[in-house]
Amino acid sequence: MKAAVYYQNGGPEVLRYEDVPDPVCAPDGVLVDVEVVSLEGGDLLSRALTPLTQRPYIVGYQCAGTVCEVGANVRNRKLGDRVVALSPNGSHAERVAASAATTWLVPPGGDLLTLGCVPVAFGAAHEALFELGQLKPGQRVLIHAGAGGVGLAAIQFAKGAGAEVLTTASSDAKLAKLRELGAAHTINYKERVLKDAVRDAVGPDGVDLVVDPVGGKVLQESVECLRYRGKIVSLGLAGRELAGFNPVPLWFKNGTLLGLGIMASLQYEYGRFYGTVAQCIERVHRGELRVMVDKCFALRDASRAHAHVEQGAAFGRVVLLPRG
């Protein structure tokens, strides 16, 4: 099969389009003929920084397609099922091996292009807002990187829950679109100091909850925006800043910093989180929630797709199409 692989960490240019052996179907797993790969922030971070466990390495943990082989112990999947799949790696390929337990059936007539983008972004946004953040109607939530996958999902969830939404993005054009989705206050982080922009919008110390997929300086500055006993949920390092976090400012607000990883939710609260993702898939299918697809690339152009995301050009999801 064809795959986008790399032999060393680095920028998008390390990705190559090569022939590799087909993956092996485990007894508790399935093989999926991949039709849509949702490019996630973790894919970029892994390519850039995570030590390789094998060479060549196939990155990527979310995709959608059709089941082409079923493991001997699997009873709830069959050949021809259309699924969305999560796996530790391997999605940047024409075929992927996944645990059957981390696949979700696509509703009849469902659009693989949009539904294939749901589990990571919508699952993480829901966890951040409601399970960890305990968001309540009338509260204020600051959602960083609003034009990204998690940000777009979180804005829709928060608005639907009756919260007052603040969000950040890199351009006024993106912010205008985010207002259409329900953001009440928008901040161009390239032009405004975060604390000052939040103060002007809702007053000093006015935010109950921060959802942060960026990390680094943004995570630290978010503390200044919290009200007493406010919370920050950290779920990414899109900014690639690995500097340490100073907890002292949190002490003066009795604030809380929470870390979120959806693979941890799957491991420790499998039934609940699996059900949350299934509901998100159904709601997107019914049109209650929207997936924004910014651009599609052929799998052979994976390096261009990674570069497009890293340049901050995307509004919404960037996808790879291994078969067209």
Domain limits for position 10: 2-117+291-321
145 & 259 share domain: yes
Q: Is the dihedral of CA 278, 284, 288, 292 positive or negative?
A: positive
Residues 155, 189 within the same domain: yes
Question: Do both 97 and 128 map to the same domain?
Answer: no
128 and 30 in a common domain? no
User: Looking at this protein, which amino acid is placed at residue 98?
Assistant: A
Residues 104, 125, single domain; the answer is: no
Return the sign of the alpha-carbon dihedral for residues 154, 156, 161, 164: positive
Tokens of residue 123, six digits: 């699952």
- From residue 165, alpha-carbon distances to 154, 160, 162, 255 in Å are 9, 10, 9, 19
Asked whether residue 259 falls in the same domain as residue 306, the answer is: no
**Which of 263, 282, 308 represents a domain boundary (last residue)?**
263
Instruction: Name the nearest CA neighbour of 141 among 219, 227, 200.
Output: 227
pLDDT of residue 160: 97
Q: How does DSSP assign 249-299, residue by residue?
A: HHHTTT-EEEE--HHHHHHHSHHHHHHHHHHHHHHHHHTSS---EEEEEEG
> 77 and 11, same structural domain?
yes
Establish if 277 belongs to a structural domain: no
Strand partners, 318: 295
Closest CA to 212 of 222, 202, 226: 222
User: Residue 246 burial (CB < 10 Å; 0-12/13-18/19+)?
Assistant: exposed
Please state whether the peptide bond connecting residue 56 to the residue before it is cis, i.e. omega within 30 degrees of 0: yes
**Residue 324: per-residue pLDDT:** 74
Pairing of strands 57-58, 2-6: antiparallel
- Residue 286 maps to a domain: no
Would residue 276 count as lying in a domain?
Answer: no
Query: Which of 247, 263, 279 represents a domain boundary (last residue)?
Result: 263
Query: And the tokens for 255?
Result: 């604030």
CA quadruple 156, 213, 268, 251: dihedral, nearest 10: -110
Comparing CA positions, the residue from 215, 127, 210, 195 lying closest to residue 165 is 210
Tell me, what's the pLDDT at 242? 74
Tokens of 87: 């796996």
Residue 218: inside a domain, yes or no? yes
Q: 54 in a domain, yes or no?
A: yes
Based on the domain organization, do 7 and 135 belong to the same domain? no
263 burial via Cβ count (<10 Å: 0-12, 13-18, 19+): middle
Whether 148 is in a domain gets the answer yes
Based on the domain organization, do 127 and 244 belong to the same domain? yes
User: Which of 246, 263, 280 is a domain's end point?
Assistant: 263
- Give the span between the Cα atoms of 167 and 160, in whole angstroms: 15
Query: Does one domain contain both 21 and 64?
Result: yes
> Taking the CA atoms of the chain, what radius of gyration do you get in angstroms?
20
Question: What does the alpha-carbon distance between residue 314 and residue 174 come to, in Å, rounded to a whole number?
Answer: 9
pTM for the model: 0.95
The pLDDT profile of the chain, 324 residues, written as one tens digit per residue, is: 999 999 999 999 999 999 999 999 999 999 999 999 999 999 999 999 999 999 999 999 999 999 999 999 999 999 999 999 999 999 999 999 999 999 999 999 999 999 999 999 999 999 999 999 999 999 999 999 999 999 999 999 999 999 999 999 999 999 999 999 999 999 999 999 999 999 999 999 999 999 999 999 999 999 999 999 999 999 998 877 777 899 999 999 999 999 999 999 999 999 999 999 999 999 999 999 999 999 999 999 999 999 999 998 899 999 999 987
> Is 274 part of any domain?
no
Residue 143 within a domain: yes
pLDDT at 243: 72
Query: Which CATH number does the domain housing residue 234 bear?
Result: 3.40.50.720
- First vs last Cα of the chain: how many Å apart? 14
Report which of 221, 215, 222, 217 is spatially closest to residue 237, judged by C-alpha positions.
Answer: 215
Q: Are residues 106 and 138 in the same domain?
A: no
Give the CATH number, domain containing residue 15: 3.90.180.10
Please report the beta strands in 73-122, taking only residues with DSSP state E, as ranges in sequence order.
Answer: 82-86, 95-99, 103-105
Q: Tell me, what's the pLDDT at 241? A: 79
The answer to whether residues 234 and 258 touch, using CB atoms and an 8 Å cutoff, is: yes
Domain co-membership, 229 together with 305: no
Counted domains in the chain: 2
- What pLDDT was estimated at residue 239? 75
